[in-house]
């Protein structure tokens, strides 16, 4: 190894994460050609092919797979060093990597980041979004993010901080006969066209039906919360959705509690067995402080 330019290693990791040199370049603020050259330099320096390229994108080669853990460890060690330097400078510099999902990214993170950056203006945020909580858990375990928002309880290897219970509500068309009712009977899902979020993401909702002994009248499987809302608005069916997803939507719908109230718990997690860095610890405290002040109510039509 003749050089220690971390950008090459970071470029490789980001390209593998996103499956595209173009998307990696956009995420890191480089041109595509600059990022391609950085990875090509690394391959030439090591005399190894690290990526396989195809029309569908790029992926690690067999040699790249062997080297990936060491490359990731190197970048994580550099990140730790950066944070220790930041602590010596009074939290005036450093990068915070946060795993997140859509509704938190929209409704919580912008306000949290603004307050945090007001306190520590030299800090840089790197957000990694995913539709699936399991993927966020894996990002934390691998050290690719410093902390992550997810559903609790989480899997093994994580320490979690519960933040808020998020109500699960019946999402109904605006002209539905129960649009203004105090609650929606869970048993009624057997009668009306039901729109379900993809199976990988609806474990809590599936558990509701199992516990209630109800088999919904499933008509549609959809992989996007906002697509479900658009379908509900058009009267194509009804659904169960978290309150945080429904909040501030510009769609016309009615959202009412279930007759047997249900919730999902949102939390913030870090990797177990390792004390969070000072920067991460400050962020955890800031999140706990601010989430309690946030108004969870939605305003459906």
Q: What is the DSSP string of 116-147?
A: HHHHSTTEEEEEEE-S-HHHHHHHHHTTSSSE
Read off the pLDDT of residues 27-81 as tens digits, 9 standing for 90 and up: 777 888 888 888 888 898 899 999 988 877 788 899 989 999 999 888 888 877 7
Q: Output the average pLDDT for the chain.
A: 86
- What is the residue range of 41's domain? 1-88
- CA-based nearest residue to 10, from 2, 101, 27: 27
CA distances from 229 to 150, 168, 219 (A): 22, 14, 15
State the average pLDDT over residues 265-278.
90
pLDDT of 196 = 92
| Residue 93, in any domain of the structure | no
- CA-based nearest residue to 142, from 81, 83, 79: 79
| Residue 138, in any domain of the structure | no
| Residue 270, in any domain of the structure | no
Read off the pLDDT of residues 150-159 as tens digits, 9 standing for 90 and up: 998 888 999 9
- CA-based nearest residue to 234, from 184, 193, 273, 268: 193
pLDDT of 2 = 35
Read off the pLDDT of residues 108-164 as tens digits, 9 standing for 90 and up: 999 999 999 998 888 889 999 887 888 899 999 988 899 999 998 888 999 999 999
Domain count, the chain: 2
- CA-based nearest residue to 243, from 291, 195, 298: 298
CATH of the domain at 32: 1.10.10.10
Bond prior to 153 in cis (omega within 30° of 0)? yes
169 and 258, same domain (yes or no): yes
257 and 170, same domain (yes or no): yes
| Residue 149, in any domain of the structure | no
CATH of the domain at 202: 3.40.190.290
């Amino acid at each position: 190894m003749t050089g220690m330019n971390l950008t090459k290693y970071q470029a490789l990791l980001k390209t593998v994460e996103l499956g595209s040199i173009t998307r990696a370049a956009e995420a890191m603020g480089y041109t595509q050609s600059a990022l391609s050259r950085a990875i090509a330099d690394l391959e030439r320096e090591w005399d190894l092919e690290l990526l396989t390229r195809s029309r569908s994108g790029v992926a690690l080669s067999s040699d790249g797979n062997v080297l990936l853990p060491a490359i990731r460890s190197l970048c994580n060690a550099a990140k730790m060093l950066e944070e220790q330097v930041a602590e010596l400078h009074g939290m005036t510099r450093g990068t915070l990597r946060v795993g997140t999902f859509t509704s938190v990214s929209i409704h919580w993170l912008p306000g949290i980041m603004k307050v945090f950056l007001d306190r520590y203006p030299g800090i840089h945020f790197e957000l990694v979004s995913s539709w699936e909580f399991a993927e966020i858990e894996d990002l934390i375990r691998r050290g690719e993010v410093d902390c992550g928002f997810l559903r609790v309880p989480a899997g093994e290897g994580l320490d979690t901080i519960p933040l808020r219970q998020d109500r699960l509500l019946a999402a109904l068309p605006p002209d539905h006969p129960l649009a203004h009712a105090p609650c929606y009977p869970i048993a009624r899902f057997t009668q009306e066209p039901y729109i379900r979020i993809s199976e990988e993401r609806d474990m809590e909702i599936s558990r509701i039906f199992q516990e209630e002994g109800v088999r919904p009248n499933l008509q549609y499987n959809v992989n996007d919360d906002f697509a479900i809302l658009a379908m509900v608005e058009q009267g194509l069916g009804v659904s169960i959705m978290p309150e945080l997803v429904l909040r501030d939507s510009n769609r016309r719908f009615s959202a009412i509690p279930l007759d047997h109230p249900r919730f999902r718990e949102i939390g913030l997690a870090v990797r177990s067995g390792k004390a969070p860095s000072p920067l991460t610890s400050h962020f955890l405290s800031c999140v706990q402080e601010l989430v309690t002040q946030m108004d969870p109510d939605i305003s459906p039509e």
